[in-house]
């Protein structure tokens, strides 16, 4: 495997993990597990409602920063970083 192929394999694996996390939080917690999570309250609101309205957005923003940090690390590791 060439250096470029290894770089893109790591990039694709990271994207897949980020998308799975985002799917689980937004679709899983916000839709599929809505009723069980609504038995738990967070700040006066049912937890399922919170995930559907706020939680998935917060997780998405965190995933953006995690992805950027990991890609910076990968860029340095494979010597493809920008100046």
pLDDT tens per residue across span 39-64: 998 788 898 888 788 888 999 999 99
The mean pLDDT of 65-80, rounded to a whole number, is 95
Flag whether 83 is in a domain. no
Flag whether 25 is in a domain. yes
Integer Cα distance of 38 and 28 in angstroms = 13
pTM higher than 0.85: no
Judged against a pLDDT cut of 80, whether residue 13 lies above it is answered with yes
- Structural domains in the chain (count): 1
Specify burial of residue 43 (Cβ count, 10 A radius: 0-12, 13-18, 19+).
Answer: exposed
Flag whether 82 is in a domain. no
More confident residue, 81 or 60: 60
pLDDT tier for residue 23 given thresholds of 50, 70 and 90: very high
Question: Which residue segment(s) compose the domain that 34 sits in?
Answer: 3-77
């Amino acid at each position: 495997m060439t250096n470029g192929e290894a770089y893109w394999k790591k990039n694709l694996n990271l994207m897949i993990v980020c998308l799975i996390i985002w799917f689980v939080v937004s679709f899983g917690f916000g839709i599929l597990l809505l009723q069980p999570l609504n038995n738990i309250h967070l700040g006066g609101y049912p937890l399922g409602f919170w995930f559907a309205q706020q939680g998935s957005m917060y997780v998405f923003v965190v995933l953006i920063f995690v992805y950027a940090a990991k890609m910076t690390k990968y860029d340095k590791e494979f010597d493809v970083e920008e100046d």
